[in-house]
Structure 1
Amino acid sequence: MQQAINKVELRNLQIEDYKELKNSMVEAYSELKEAYWQEEQIERLLEIFPEGQLVILVDGRVVGSALSLIVDNRKASATHTYEKITGNYTFSTHDPFGDVLYGIDVFIHPDYRGLRLGRRLYDARKEICEKLNLQSIIFAGRIPRYAEHAKEMTPKQYIEKVRAKEIHDPVLSFQLSNDFHVIKVMKNYLEGDVSSQEYAVLLEWNNIYYEKHQQLINTRKSVIRLGLIQWQMRPLNNLEALFEQAEFFIDAVSGYASDFAMFPELFIAPLMADYNHLSEADAIRELARYTDSIRKKFQEFAISYNINIITGSMPLLENGNLYNVGFLCKRDGTSEMYSKIHITPNEVFYWGMKGGSQIKTFDTDCGKIGIMICYDVEFPELSRLLADEGMDILFVPFLTDTQNGYTRVRNCAQARAIENECYVAIAGCVGNLPKVNNMDIQFAQAAVFTPSDFAFPTNGIKAEATPNTEMTLIVDVDVDLLKELHEHGSVRTMKDRRKDLYQIKKLKS
């Protein structure tokens, strides 16, 4: 390796680079006879797919390259030889309408190894794959140290030992460290590759941003805007007064182009003031009479303000049983109900509430979301089940009277964000409600929590409201960052679970 390096450059290959490209390739493949591309072959590559051909230069000298084609996934994944996948080295297999970037070559001059230049080429290939909306990168990697172990182990055993870092293979070890996974072993891949015994390992890197059908309209957004409503408990004369106040907030957050508006748990409680002469259990059952009217009105708001509304929660009386439920009113006019699964001792004692029985995620125009009402977020199994279904954002409408209760909800919500690699948004009620029994005081601070990794705030808090003050909190969250985290995070809690030792599953669908 040179003693001093002044400049490293990565760019697309040009035909003027051919002489230096050939020299570096000859040195890189010194154990293979005449292992270099002819100039007319490079010209052909640059003619059919110039953006897929890369070189890396050190002080103006070509010291490495990565060459690629686009092919159909079925051809790339099937057993093949190097000669076949390259169309007998004519590159006739290149298909501009294919869905896989197939790597036909990558090398670094021996004098420049150890500088992580190969990693730069791989990262650039991944960028090409993402920008061209290709499904994956596939290529067959040599295993040049297999010949040393061929007598005592099969290629499969060799791969497992390389994966376990018991054996170092200069090609395969590097590829596995770059997030490629093994598809299969292929025999007779490259004629004359004695050190690999002519075996090759078919490897793949999946593009997490790939969309099978690209759309011009109604495409799924990467950045989602959340509008959280920290609701002040106040006397309300009637249902129309509730709608007027709710519409004010929906109008406000939709004016900032929010994708979601979320209200707190039991924010309609002021309407119970008219029934304060009754027992707590009877008063809340009277409140349940409003639930269907509220759902219908919020569906209208969702359409007219073009926003998805999470209605917090309200009581629902069904077959004599009282539940704590809410509705996801989508901007397409449809709605779905969610229910509180775990009922607090207070809710059981004063109201005789029962827990719901459906655990599910919700499909929206902004991806999959989960919704849990208050106490439910303190049970980690629930959110893990939703995360397994692909949840990106967990919404938690809550109602807590003391700071102790709020601390439980907040800290558990933040834990759920970390362990499930998702965003968690919480919103509650604030203020006092003197004329409603069992609903006297409230404490809340709306917030949005994130996983804990480099792409997110160091404290895991994207934003938070002023405690105990009526306000809105409008926050942008980027779901593409979650995709990066799932695949390339410092830790990967979703992937690294020991499913051989434990698992969580639903008992009811």
Structure 2
Amino acid sequence: MNTTLKLACAQYPIDFLNSWDDYEAKITAWVKDAYLQEAQFLMFPEYFSMGLGSLFEAEVYGSLSAQLEALQDLHEPFLELYTRLSERFNMPILAGTFPVRLDNGEYRNRAWLFRPDGTRDYQDKLQMTRFETEQWHISPGEDIRVLDTDFGPVGVATCYDSEFPLIVRRQVELGARLILVPSCTDTQAGYNRVRIGCQARALENQCYVAQSPTIGEARWSPAVDVNTGQAAVYTPVDRGFPDDGVLEQGPDGQTGWMIAELDFEALERVRREGQVLNHRDWDTQFRLMRDQ
């Protein structure tokens, strides 16, 4: 298992597209750019796939419900594209999230992970925002999982999921040392809620937490019209790590990759020898609550 990782997190703009070929060319250029920067693992944001809605008529991409239905015709081409790119550039790709319709008619906000060997896996978002539940009618997933990679198991805590400690804690208990947080937030407050959640999860689990946001405006889309955030990788706040727990952070408002080098041996060391041992001491709180 690899002990270091060069991770690329996208600060991604949702552009209006003229054709599927335009989308494929855009994504291929993004992946190639990260590859040329020697990245080993890529992450795109939550709902970055909503740019595909612009390939339909205005009455479709202007409707919250109609765009979800229309996007299902592009789900298989989406899977095929990222499968090819992961194989071609020999790196795992977390392709943000895609709203997938299940056989029972429900929609799930699904984060797909593509591996260089042609296999793929996913984690559905578990905690839905009010907008997703009340206006967009997207349903929560049911399972907390980890996804296997050559860099060990990783957890995916999509946007709002990162604000709930027990979701990420379960992924850490299942072996994840890296939590990927694809996000899509329209206000600075929303971005900061996710950012603070990411930093808290990194601190309390002594793990890496990486965030990838959508940025900029897509006024044609009622779902992702305004996008705010900065990509970053957060760490424990302890020996061998930054004093503020921020390993790298992307520039505000600029599109492109934020790339950080992760050292998993350093994580294991701080879990053994840190000034504090959050990872080990987690269960103390449950013992104290049981004893009340």
TM-score bucket (shorter structure)? over 0.9
Contact kept? 1:237, 1:271, Cα under 8 Å: no
User: Which residue pairs with 2:287 in the alignment?
Assistant: 500
Whether the 8 Å CA contact 2:49–2:96 is kept in 1: the answer is no
Q: Distance in 1 between matches of 2:115 and 2:52?
A: 25
- The equivalent residue for 1:432 is 217
Among 162, 167, 188, the residue aligned to 1:382? 167
Amino acid at match of 1:362: L
Structure 2 residue corresponding to 1:253, chosen from 34, 38, 50 = 34
What are the Cα deviations for residues 64-121 of structure 1, in whole angstroms up to 9, with x where unaligned?
xxxxxxxxxxxxxxxxxxxxxxxxxxxxxxxxxxxxxxxxxxxxxxxxxxxxxxxxxx
Match of 1:467 in 2: 252
Q: Which has the higher helix share?
A: 2
> Where do 5+ consecutive residues of structure 2 fail to align?
none
Matches within 5 A, 1:26-45: none
2:22 maps to 241
Larger C-alpha radius of gyration, 1 or 2? 1
Q: For each residue in 1:230-251, what CA deviation from the matched residue of structure 2 results, as whole angstroms up to 9, or x when unmatched? A: 1112111122211211111111
Q: CA deviation at 1:275?
A: 4.4
1:283 corresponds to? 67
Q: Which of 319, 335, 339 is the matching residue for 2:120? A: 335
**Aligned partners of 1:254 and 1:306 also within 8 Å:** no
CA distance in structure 2 between the partners assigned to 1:429 and 1:270 by the alignment: 11
Q: CA deviation at 1:502?
A: 5.4
Render the CA deviation track for 1:341-400: whole Å, top value 9, x for unaligned: 111110122221100111111221011211121111011110001111121110000001
Query: Distance in 2 between the 1:317 and 1:251 partners?
Result: 30
Task: Report the residue type matching 1:299 in the other structure.
Answer: T
Rounded Cα–Cα distance in structure 2 between residues aligned with 1:280 and 1:228: 27
Aligned-partner Cα distance in 2 for 1:459–1:288 = 42
Q: 1:126-165 residue pairs with structure 2 within 5 A?
A: none
How far is 1:463 from its partner? 0.4
* Structure 2 Cα separation of the partners of residues 239 and 424 of structure 1: 32
Correspondence for 2:150 among 365, 380, 393: 365
Q: How does 1:180-199 map to 2 (within 5 A)?
A: none
Structure 2 Cα separation of the partners of residues 275 and 485 of structure 1: 53
Mapped to 2, the partners of 1:423 and 1:292 lie a distance apart of: 31
- In 1, Cα distance between the equivalents of 2:115 and 2:243? 33
Contact between 2:6 and 2:262, CA under 8 Å: does it hold in 1? yes
The CA deviation string for residues 195-241 of structure 1, in whole angstroms up to 9 with x for no partner, is xxxxxxxxxxxxxxxxxxxxxxxxx2221110111111211112221
Alpha-carbon distance in 2 for matches of 1:438, 1:302: 28
Does residue 456 of the first structure (1) align with residue 241 of the second (2)? Answer: yes
User: With structure 2 as the length reference, what TM-score do the two structures score?
Assistant: 0.93
What's the CA shift for 1:475? 0.8
SS in 2 for 1:365: coil
2:136 to 336, 351, 355: 351
Cα distance per residue 1:155-192 (max 9 Å; x no partner)? xxxxxxxxxxxxxxxxxxxxxxxxxxxxxxxxxxxxxx
- Aligned-partner SS, 2:190: helix
Pick from 185, 204, 207: which aligns with 1:400?
Answer: 185
Moved over 3 A (4+): 499-503
What is residue 154 of structure 1 aligned with on the other side? Answer: none
Corresponding residue number in structure 2 for 1:306: 90
Q: Which amino acid aligns with 2:287?
A: D
- Other-structure match for 2:81: 297
How much does 1:403 deviate? 0.4
AA aligned opposite 1:376: D
Question: What is the CA–CA distance in structure 1 between the aligned matches of 2:73 and 2:240, rounded to whole Å?
Answer: 46
Q: Conserved in 1, the CA contact under 8 Å of 2:122 and 2:147?
A: no
Q: How many residues end up aligned between the 2 structures?
A: 284
Tell me the TM-score normalised to structure 1 length: 0.54
Instruction: Find the residue that maps to 1:431 and give its secondary structure.
Output: strand
2: CA distance between counterparts of 1:315 and 1:405?
20
Question: RMSD across aligned C-alpha pairs, in angstroms?
Answer: 1.4
Structure 1 segments unaligned to the other structure (5+ residues): 1-219, 504-509
Distance 1:358 1:276, change over 3 A: farther
Q: 1:326 to 1:289 in 2, by over 3 A?
A: farther
Determine helix, strand or coil for the equivalent of 2:278: coil
Q: Give the CA deviation at 1:289.
A: 2.4
Q: Secondary structure at the match of 1:356?
A: coil
The 8 Å contact of residues 464 and 473 in structure 1, kept in 2 or not, is answered as yes
Q: Distance in 2 between matches of 1:238 and 1:313?
A: 20
